[in-house]
C-alpha cells in the first residue's frame, strides 16, 4: 500500500486537518515552487499551519506516466494538498488526474504560468495562454474523470498578448459551461523569450488592479491572487477584493509567517504556532526518513529561515548548512542547531 493510498484514516485526516469552514480551499496557499516545495518542505509547513493549501512542485504528465520514481508520493499529514500538473495532452492529464484522485489529493491544478524554455518546448506552462481552447479541453478531460476540484494557475498575459481583453477572453473560454470555476492569477505577464524564469518573477510589473477587475468581471468564479506578496497584512488587503491569496518565495524564505496564518486569516481563536515546537514536531518524521535513506540536509534545507529575525538565527542556519549534509548526520545536528535560538 502506498504511504498515501486513501483509507478511512486518510479521509479522517483530510476532514480534521484544517478548519477552513466557509472559506474556499484556496483562501491562502503556498505556491508550487520547483526544487523547493517538495514533500519534506510541505510536511514542515504543515507543522506551522493546518489551513493553508499546499501545492506540490509542478510535475509533468510524462514523469508520472513514464518516470521510474513515485512522483505522487506525499504524507497524509500534508492535507489539504494540491497536485500541480504540467502538460497539454488532455488524455495524459486525465490519466494523471485520475491517479492523483486515487492517491487522495484534494485538488488538481494545471500550470499555465511557467515561462521557462524547457516548459515551452514541452508545450505547457505560460505558452498555453495563447491556446485557451486547448486549456479548456485539458480541464474538461480532467473534470470528466475526477470529483475533486480542477483549477488553473495562469498569468495576466504573455509577450505582446497582454491586453485586458486577451485575459478576459482566456478566462471566458476556459471557464465556459462551468468548465473551470477556480483560477489563481499571477499578477504579472510572462515574457516567453528574453527573460529567465527568475526575471519573469521580478521584471514584468505587478498589476494588482487588473486582477481585481478580473474578479469583478467574473464574480461567479473563485479567484486567488499571486505575485510579490510578502506579508499577511498584504494578504488581508488583497482579500478585500479576491477570494484567495497565494504566497511563494516569502513563505519559503521566511516560513515563520505561516505560523500566523490560521489565527489571522481563518479563525482568531486558533493559536499562533510556535516555531521551536514546529521544529521538534519534525523529529519523528525525520527519524523515519533517515531510516529510509533520506539525507538530513534534504529535509532541513527547508527549515533554515524559520527563525528569521530571532537572536541566534544566523548560527542556526550556519550549523545546519555546514553539518546537515555530512555523512551520517542525524537528529543531533538539529538539536545542537536549536540550542542557538533556545539558549539565549
Q: Are 334 and 320 in contact (CB under 8 A)?
A: yes
Distance CA 120, CA 102 (A): 29
If you write DSSP's letter for every residue of 41-59 in order, what string do you get? Answer: HHHHHHHH-SSSEEEPPPE
In the three-class reduction of DSSP (H, G, I as helix; E, B as strand; rest coil), residue 134 is classed as helix
Candidates 96, 303, 53, 279; CA nearest to 184 is: 53
Cα distances from 275 to residues 19, 72, 90, 296, in angstroms, run: 21, 28, 42, 19
* Cell numbers for 113: 504560468
* Cell numbers for 13: 485526516
Q: Can you name the residues that pair with 182 across neighbouring β-strands?
A: 222
Candidates 276, 238, 228, 271; CA nearest to 256 is: 276
* Cell numbers for 154: 495562469
Catalytic residues: 114
Which residues carry a binding-site annotation for FMN?
Answer: 32-34, 84, 153, 186, 226-228, 248-249
Candidates 39, 38, 55, 47; CA nearest to 17 is: 47
Which residues carry a binding-site annotation?
Answer: 32-34, 84, 153, 186, 226-228, 248-249
Say which residues have a Cβ less than 8 Å from residue 104's Cβ, sequence separation at least 6: 4, 5, 6, 10, 11, 14, 76, 79
Amino acid at each position: 500500500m502506498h504511504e498515501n493510498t486513501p483509507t478511512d484514516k486518510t479521509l479522517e485526516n483530510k476532514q480534521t486537518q484544517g478548519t477552513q469552514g466557509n472559506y474556499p480551499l484556496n483562501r491562502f496557499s503556498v505556491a508550487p515552487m520547483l526544487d523547493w516545495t517538495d514533500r519534506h518542505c510541505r510536511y514542515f509547513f504543515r507543522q506551522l499551519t493546518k489551513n493553508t493549501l499546499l501545492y506540490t512542485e509542478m510535475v509533468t504528465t510524462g514523469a508520472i506516466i513514464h518516470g521510474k520514481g513515485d512522483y505522487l508520493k506525499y504524507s497524509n499529514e500534508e492535507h489539504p494538498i494540491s497536485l500541480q500538473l504540467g502538460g497539454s495532452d488532455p488524455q495524459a492529464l486525465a490519466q494523471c488526474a485520475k491517479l492523483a484522485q486515487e492517491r487522495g489529493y484534494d485538488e488538481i491544478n494545471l500550470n499555465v504560468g511557467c515561462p521557462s524554455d524547457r516548459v515551452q518546448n514541452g508545450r505547457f506552462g505560460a505558452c498555453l495562454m495563447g491556446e485557451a481552447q486547448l486549456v479548456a479541453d485539458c480541464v474538461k478531460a480532467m473534470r470528466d474523470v475526477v470529483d475533486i476540484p480542477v483549477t488553473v494557475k495562469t498569468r495576466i498575459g504573455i509577450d505582446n498578448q497582454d491586453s485586458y481583453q486577451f485575459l478576459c477572453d482566456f478566462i471566458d473560454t476556459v471557464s465556459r459551461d462551468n468548465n473551470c470555476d477556480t483560477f489563481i492569477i499571477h499578477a504579472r505577464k510572462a515574457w516567453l523569450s528574453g527573460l529567465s524564469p527568475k526575471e519573469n518573477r521580478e521584471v514584468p510589473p505587478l498589476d494588482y488592479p487588473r486582477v481585481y477587475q478580473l474578479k469583478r468581471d467574473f464574480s461567479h468564479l473563485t479567484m486567488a491572487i499571486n505575485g510579490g506578496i510578502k506579508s499577511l497584512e498584504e494578504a488581508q488587503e488583497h482579500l478585500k477584493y479576491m477570494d484567495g491569496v497565494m504566497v511563494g518565495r516569502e513563505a519559503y524564505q521566511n516560513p515563520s509567517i505561516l505560523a500566523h496564518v490560521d489565527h489571522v486569516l481563518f479563525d482568531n481563536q486558533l493559536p499562533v504556532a510556535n516555531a521551536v515546537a514546529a521544529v521538534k514536531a519534525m523529529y519523528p518524521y525525520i527519524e523515519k526518513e533517515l531510516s529510509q535513506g533520506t539525507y538530513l540536509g534534504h529535509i532541513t534545507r527547508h527549515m533554515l529561515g524559520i527563525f528569521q529575525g530571532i537572536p541566534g538565527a544566523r548560527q542556526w542556519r550556519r550549523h545546519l548548512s555546514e553539518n546537515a549534509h555530512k555523512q551520517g548526520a542525524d537528529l543531533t545536528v538539529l538539536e545542537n542547531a536549536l540550542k542557538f535560538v533556545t539558549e539565549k
